Structure 1
Amino acid sequence: MKVLLINGSPHEKGCTYTALSLIAEELNRAHIETEIFNVGTRPVGGCIGCGGCAAGSGCVFGGVVNEAIEKARTADAFVFGSPVHYASASGNMTSFMDRLSYAGGKYLAYKPAAICCSARRGGTTTTLDQLVKYPEFFHMPLVNGSYWAMIHGSNPAQVLQDEEGCAVMRELGRNMAWLLQCIEAGKAAGIRHPENPRRPMTNFIR
């Protein structure tokens, strides 16, 4: 089993990476493979709704989004992490998530997901509220801890001083490992996720 952890921070080894690393450590203890994937610093353009991804070759703009889609094919679960920028996820992370979901959503469906964010002080709950919308769209079971998955600090050393935040990240890792093991046991017993029919799409027009 493998979990793909998405780092939406422009700082490859910064605060968000530190939070994701705590989650990854717990997963590794449960003998689950992990990879931290960096969205990076190069600008990620937003989705323009062109529909070109319907051809099945990923996003027509390519780049880091298509790299992630390829990794998503074989991942068993995901953790989406972002720093807080003006009380929301980073701009690159927002564009990345829009395009990953639109072009690669079929590789996310029914796989467990967790979200987390890092901040110096505020804006965490709005960022979590933003990011949670993506897994809710794709039947992804949400993994939680005993508190909202936020961590505080201006650098990795300060993050590690946030004892409660660190504890929640570790809880996420342990809970995700448990859920993945339950899913594997279910598969061995012949239990599969439901095949839901395509939902009707209605516009709010009278």
Structure 2
Amino acid sequence: MKVLLVNGSPHEKGCTYTALKEIAEVLNHEEIETEIFQVGKQPLTGCIACWNCSKTGKCVFDDCVNEFLQLAENFDGFIFGSPVHFASASGSISPFMDRAFFVVNCSERKTFYLKPGAAIVSTRRAGATAALDQLNKYFTKMEMPVISSRYWNMVHGNTPDEVKEDLEGLQIMRILGRNMAWFLKCKEAGEKAGIAFPEKEERISTNFIRHEE
């Protein structure tokens, strides 16, 4: 079993990485393989709703989003990490997730289907819960079980060393890692026992415009 951790910070070894590393160490201890995917510093274009991905299964902008999607097929769970910028997720992780999840949704790939997901954020002081709320919406859109911890998944600090002083925050990360490992093991046991995936229904798409007759 493998979990892919996505670092949505422009700083490769910054505060967000410090939190993700704490989770990865716990997962490794639970015999779950991990890999950290760095979104990087290159500017990312937002989704332009061209719908090309519905035909090709990949984004028309060939950058780290397509690299991630190709890699993600081989993973069983996902954790997305972001610094908090103006009480929201970073300017890198937002278009990254918009495009990645839109590709999967439009092409009906099984990349995320019933695979557990979690979000973590790092912040100096405030805005963490708003950023978490934003990130968690991606998982519920894609039928991904959301893994929780003992508290909201956040660490505080302005530098990696300050994050390491946030003992409660680091504990929240470790508990999240153990909960993720437990869920993956339960899922594997269920599959071995012959428990089938839920029955699928054909998609129904509506809007809220009522046309008067």
TM-score of Structure 1 vs Structure 2, range by shorter chain: over 0.9
Q: How many percent of aligned residue pairs carry the same amino acid?
A: 55
Equivalent of residue 193 in structure 1, options 190, 197, 204: 197
TM superposition shift of 1:141: 0.5
TM superposition shift of 1:65: 0.1
2:42 corresponding residue in structure 1: 42
* Contact 2:57–2:104 (Cα < 8 Å) also in 1: no
Once residues 194 and 72 of structure 1 are traced to their aligned partners in structure 2, the CA distance between those partners, rounded to angstroms, is 22
1:10 aligned partner, one-letter code: P
Give aligned pairs, total. Answer: 206
1:22 corresponding residue in structure 2: 22
Once residues 89 and 74 of structure 1 are traced to their aligned partners in structure 2, the CA distance between those partners, rounded to angstroms, is 26
Q: 1:100 to 1:146 in 2, by over 3 A?
A: same
Equivalent of residue 176 in structure 2, options 148, 172, 190: 172
Equivalent of residue 137 in structure 2, options 127, 133, 142: 133
Equivalent of residue 142 in structure 1, options 142, 146, 149: 146
Matched position secondary structure for 1:160: helix
2:51 corresponding residue in structure 1: 51
For each residue in 1:20-65, what CA deviation from the matched residue of structure 2 results, as whole angstroms up to 9, or x when unmatched? 0011111000111000001000001100110000123410101000
* Contact 2:8–2:83 (Cα < 8 Å) also in 1: yes
Q: CA RMSD in A?
A: 0.9
1:128 aligned partner, one-letter code: L
Matched position secondary structure for 1:9: coil
Normalised to the residue count of structure 1, the TM-score between the two structures is 0.98
Once residues 45 and 198 of structure 1 are traced to their aligned partners in structure 2, the CA distance between those partners, rounded to angstroms, is 32
1:39 aligned partner, one-letter code: V
Matches within 5 A, 1:35-184: 35-105=35-105, 106=109, 107-184=111-188
2:85 aligned partner, one-letter code: H
For each residue in 1:58-84, what CA deviation from the matched residue of structure 2 results, as whole angstroms up to 9, or x when unmatched? 101010000000111111000011000
TM superposition shift of 1:195: 3.5
Query: For the pair shown, which has the larger CA radius of gyration, 1 or 2?
Result: 2
* Contact 2:58–2:103 (Cα < 8 Å) also in 1: yes
* Contact 2:16–2:82 (Cα < 8 Å) also in 1: yes
Flag structure 2 segments of 5+ consecutive residues without an equivalent.
none
For each residue in 1:110-152, what CA deviation from the matched residue of structure 2 results, as whole angstroms up to 9, or x when unmatched? 1001110000001100000000000000110111111000100
Once residues 60 and 69 of structure 1 are traced to their aligned partners in structure 2, the CA distance between those partners, rounded to angstroms, is 13
Normalised to the residue count of structure 2, the TM-score between the two structures is 0.95
